Amino acid sequence: MGCWFGCVVPKRHARRAVTRNLLKRQARAAFSRHLDGLAPGLWLARLRVGYPVAVFVSARSPALSRAVRGELDELFAHAAA
């Protein structure tokens, strides 16, 4: 059995579809980067708290991409340990 990955981004935490899609792409990319260190199985990532629109005005802002990437890398590094 290999590694399978699913991602849930609720609309209440990310209103715009472009933001939800960005978050899902970032999650899939982070999963791929950390795939070697993860145990085989089914993995699910779920956004539990939204990113404030006041801080991240644009859905494609570099600041949002950096924040999401850092948080996901930390999450998968912790899961791989």
Q: Along the chain (81 residues), what's the average pLDDT of each consecutive run of 10 residues?
A: 90 88 93 93 90 82 89 91 82
- Domain ranges, residue 70: 3-80
In order of 18, 60, 66, the CA distances from 53 in angstroms are 13, 12, 15
Q: Which pTM was predicted?
A: 0.86
* φ/ψ of residue 28, rounded to 5: -65, -40
Give the pLDDT score at 58. 83
Domain tally, the chain = 1
Contacting residues for 14 by C-beta, under 8 A, at least 6 apart: 20, 23, 47, 50, 51
Give the pLDDT score at 50. 84
Give the pLDDT score at 51. 82
DSSP 14-61: --SHHHHHHHHHHHHHHHHHTGGGSPSEEEEEE--SPPPTTT--STT-
